[in-house]
């Protein structure tokens, strides 16, 4: 039997051959500005005309719906998909007019309606096999977020400051089935858990509707090295195609040079001596940090001792949150522009954020609470996200210490706690960390999942050094594990270290895996006053680039020309193929093949690979997972 494999070079032809007739939806098209398009075939077709007269028809093949898709006032498509699985395909027919169409956003319908469009975890969204929009131009500031899992993505171009965030399709290995029934409905759910070659656990649920949804994803990334594929015995032909996402995009049109992703990292810290928030630039190769002199420190009124700092999102805009315990002040994270403030309940001075929600904490009340930054700014006081989730109290015996943070691509917050973890000392508290989910998924009768904000305990784990527990005396007088932030996917705990002479070294930030709490080494920030809180990290220098961020393996990224591209892959990057590329950065863990005929100012970084530095690749020993990344969408004005 001949094995058929998808080839991106023939993507358009294949889709045209397999498409059903588009005559019916095209006949129903009226002006997009008047109707925002026409649905047909039970929501599996969507057709419209652009302001330039281009006729567009979208079709979803297999399971799924295009419910929620619309065309905005500029004539740009905002694509929504739902109730799909890994075999579903979205194809397009574009003709007449300019022969091209604008694309503003792609989200799953579940993600759009739940208010989690900034989330990079993909949890609660369905898998999809293909989205083929080869005559669509992703507009400046546009977003493609398919982080639940996708096989193939095709676009014509991407504009500056756009972002394409993907995950490869999970490989299902372990399956469990549960059935729940009532007097009116019966729903059967099958759950599959796959552990990728990079040590990431993906949990996918499916049901009688054959919808596949990413229900969970966690783990600590480990580079698996190059994937070497072999043919079977006999004469079976060439080896199978490598696993991973296939991306075809003809023109990448960034308008800024891509940064070095290993030394452009920024993080905020609070200095209680000076009563100010300072921004630092980290070098992940040298494991050092210095004051970022391009950002003016932010004074905190009254210079309180207990101030929390975190990143957050005001809609898409990345912001700095400064929590004094009664008020959260909000600033543009890149430019420092003051954007307003809102009051918080007294004592809630700890703060951290996931991609899509912010959490504040109170050690006295031993409680966490969610808030929506944009809504809170508008109201001037704390406003909870959709659904008004209940506050969270840790399991019995655990006390919050004040460190709260989030990680990109995770729906969890991570908090430092004190508890009697050591059974041999049941009357004394020791240091540990508590991982708390901020979302849950509820099955719906139509086969999809409803993603809701809700706290739940994921893991509570003791922290040990050299096999020894770390004691936490009553009141935590040493402020142990109070200053907690994150650097990419590592927890960052600020400590006082020691140099080779035994002298104290302030602001020795220790990095740990969020599940195992395994040490990933220190970063020493060159700053004299001990910082009492840290934020999550981010990269403002991504602005203006075209960002493609993939969690999992990439089979290939192909195109004609690229300028200002940031391609970040937490997995095996099998092939990058362009005719021309300039001012771009590529990270693969590892990179396998590079086919760029002409390159100018292109940096290619990789974990250890079988062919070393061949073809202009820089091997970075000990390279940890970078990102997942997203555009800051910041601006100097309020």
**SS3 at position 379:** helix
3-state secondary structure 8-62: HHHHHHHHHHHCCCCHHHHHCCCEHHHHCCEEECCCCEEEEECCCCCEEEEEEEC
How far is the C-alpha of 371 from the C-alpha of 359, rounded, in Å?
6
DSSP string, 137-195: EEEEEEEEEEEEEEEEEEEEEE-TT-EEEEEEPPPP-EEEEEEEE-SS-EEEEEEEEEE
Residues 519 and 556 in one domain: no
Residues 532 and 547 in one domain: no
Of the residues 480, 507, 538, the one at which a domain ends: 538
- Return the DSSP state at 117: T
Residue 485 lies in a domain: yes
Residues 245 and 345 in one domain: no
- pLDDT of 196 reads 58
Residue 634 lies in a domain: no
Residues 416 and 303 in one domain: yes
Residues 155 and 290 in one domain: no
- pLDDT of 345 reads 97
Number of domains in the chain: 2
- CB-CB neighbours of 257 under 10 Å: 17
Confidence label for 582 from pLDDT (cuts 50, 70 and 90): very high
pLDDT, one tens digit per residue, over 39-76 is 999 999 999 999 999 999 999 999 999 999 999 999 99
pLDDT, one tens digit per residue, over 81-114 is 999 999 999 999 999 999 999 999 999 999 999 9
Residue 632 lies in a domain: no
**Greater pLDDT, 352 or 216:** 352
Is the backbone peptide bond immediately before 590 cis, with ω within 30 degrees of 0? yes
| CA 566 to chain CA centroid, nearest Å | 15
- Burial annotation 357-375 (CB, 10 A radius, 16+ → b, else e): bbbbbbbeeebbbbbbbbb
**Greater pLDDT, 384 or 622:** 384
**612: containing domain:** 26-172+241-258+541-619
- State yes or no: pLDDT of 567 exceeds 90: yes
pLDDT, one tens digit per residue, over 529-549 is 999 999 999 999 999 999 999
At 542, give phi and psi (nearest 5°). Answer: -70, -20
- pLDDT of 216 reads 81
Residue 21 lies in a domain: no
Of the residues 517, 538, 559, the one at which a domain ends: 538
Residues 93 and 46 in one domain: yes
Residue 108 lies in a domain: yes
For the segment 311-336, the average pLDDT, to the nearest whole number, is 98
Which secondary structure element, helix H or strand E, spans residue 111, and what is its range? helix 109-114
- pLDDT of 212 reads 93
Per-chain mean pLDDT for the chain? 89
3-state secondary structure 330-366: EEECCCCCEEEEEECCCCCCEEEECCCCEEEEECCCC
Residues 246 and 367 in one domain: no
Residue 46 lies in a domain: yes
Residue 24 burial (CB < 10 Å; 0-12/13-18/19+)?
A: middle
Q: Is there a contact between 435 and 395 (Cβ–Cβ < 8 Å)? A: no
CATH number (domain holding residue 290): 2.120.10
User: Nearest-CA neighbor of 310 among 209, 221, 415?
Assistant: 415
3-state secondary structure 221-282: CCCCCCCCCCCCCCCCCCCCCCCCEEEEEEEEECCCCCCCCCCCEEEEEEECCCCEEEEEEE
**SS3 at position 113:** helix
Residues 564 and 417 in one domain: no
Residue 183 lies in a domain: no
Q: Tell me whether strands 45-49 and 38-40 are parallel, antiparallel or unpaired.
A: antiparallel
Q: Tell me whether strands 554-558 and 245-253 are parallel, antiparallel or unpaired.
A: parallel
Confidence label for 618 from pLDDT (cuts 50, 70 and 90): very high
**Greater pLDDT, 198 or 134:** 134
Residues 30 and 167 in one domain: yes
Signed CA dihedral, 371, 375, 377, 380: sign only:
negative
- CB-CB neighbours of 246 under 10 Å: 24
Of the residues 538, 564, 590, the one at which a domain ends: 538
pLDDT, one tens digit per residue, over 151-199 is 999 999 999 999 999 999 987 544 444 333 332 323 344 555 555 557 7
- pLDDT of 34 reads 33
Residues 515 and 602 in one domain: no
Confidence label for 633 from pLDDT (cuts 50, 70 and 90): very high
- pLDDT of 202 reads 80
- pLDDT of 223 reads 62
**Greater pLDDT, 9 or 257:** 257
Residues 368 and 499 in one domain: yes
Residues 418 and 500 in one domain: yes
């Amino acid at each position: 039997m001949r094995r058929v494999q998808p080839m991106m070079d023939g993507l358009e032809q294949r889709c045209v051959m397999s498409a059903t007739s588009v005559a019916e939806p095209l006949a129903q098209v009226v002006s997009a500005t008047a109707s925002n398009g026409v649905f047909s075939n039970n929501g599996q077709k969507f057709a419209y005309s652009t302001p330039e007269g281009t006729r567009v028809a979208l079709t979803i093949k297999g399971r799924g719906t295009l419910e929620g898709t619309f065309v905005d006032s500029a004539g740009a498509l905002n694509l929504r998909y739902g109730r799909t699985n890994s075999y579903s395909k979205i194809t397009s027919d574009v003709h007449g007019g300019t022969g091209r169409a604008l694309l503003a956003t792609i989200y799953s319908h579940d993600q759009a309606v739940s208010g989690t469009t900034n989330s990079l975890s993909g949890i609660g969204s369905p898998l999809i096999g293909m989205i083929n929009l080869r005559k669509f131009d992703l507009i400046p500031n546009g977003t493609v977020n398919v982080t639940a899992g996708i096989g193939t993505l095709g676009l014509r171009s991407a504009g500056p400051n756009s972002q394409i965030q993907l995950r490869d399709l999970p490989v299902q290995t372990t399956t469990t089935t549960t059935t729940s029934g009532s007097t009116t409905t019966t729903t059967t759910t099958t759950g599959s858990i796959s552990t990728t070659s990079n040590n990431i656990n993906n949990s996918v649920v499916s049901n009688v509707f054959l919808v596949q949804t990413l229900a969970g994803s966690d783990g600590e990334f480990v580079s698996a090295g190059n994937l070497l594929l072999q043919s079977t015995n006999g004469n079976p032909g060439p080896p199978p195609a490598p696993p991973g996402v296939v991306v075809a995009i003809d023109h990448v049109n960034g308008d800024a040079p891509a940064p070095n992703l290993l030394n452009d990292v920024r993080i905020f810290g609070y200095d209680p001596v000076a009563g100010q928030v300072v921004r630092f630039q980290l070098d992940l190769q040298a494991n050092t940090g210095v004051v970022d002199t391009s950002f003016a420190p932010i004074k905190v009124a009254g210079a309180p001792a207990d101030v929390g700092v975190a990143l957050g999102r005001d809609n898409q805009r990345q912001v700095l949150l400064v929590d004094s315990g009664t008020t959260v002040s909000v600033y543009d994270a890149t430019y420092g522009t003051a954007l307003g403030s809102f009051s918080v309940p007294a004592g809630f001075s700890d703060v951290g954020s996931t991609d899509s929600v912010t959490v504040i904490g109170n050690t006295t009340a031993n409680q966490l609470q969610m808030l929506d930054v944009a809504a809170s700014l508008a109201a001037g006081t704390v406003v909870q996200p959709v659904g008004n989730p209940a506050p969270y109290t840790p399991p019995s015996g655990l006390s919050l210490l004040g460190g709260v943070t989030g990680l990109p691509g995770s729906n969890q917050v991570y908090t430092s706690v004190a508890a009697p973890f050591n059974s041999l000392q049941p009357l004394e508290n020791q240091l540990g960390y508590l991982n708390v989910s901020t979302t849950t998924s509820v099955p719906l009768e139509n086969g999809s999942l409803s993603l809701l904000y809700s706290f739940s305990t994921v893991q509570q784990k003791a922290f040990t050094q050299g096999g020894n527990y770390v004691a936490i005396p009553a009141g935590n007088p040493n402020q142990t594990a109070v200053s907690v932030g994150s650097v990419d996917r590592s927890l960052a705990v600020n400590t006082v270290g020691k140099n080779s002479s035994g002298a104290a070294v302030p602001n020795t930030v220790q990095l740990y895996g969020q599940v195992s709490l395994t040490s990933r080494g220190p970063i020493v920030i060159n700053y004299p006053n001990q910082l009492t809180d840290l934020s999550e990290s981010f990269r403002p220098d991504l602005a203006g680039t075209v960002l493609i961020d993939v969690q999992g393996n990439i089979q290939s990224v192909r195109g004609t020309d690229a300028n200002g591209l940031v391609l970040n892959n937490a997995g095996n990057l099998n092939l990058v193929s362009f005719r021309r590329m300039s001012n771009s950065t590529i990270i693969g863990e590892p990179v396998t093949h590079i086919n760029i005929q002409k390159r100018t100012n292109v940096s290619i970084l990789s974990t250890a690979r079988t062919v070393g530095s061949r073809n202009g690749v820089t091997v970075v020993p000990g390279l940890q997972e970078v990102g997942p990344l997203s555009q800051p969408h910041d601006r100097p004005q309020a």
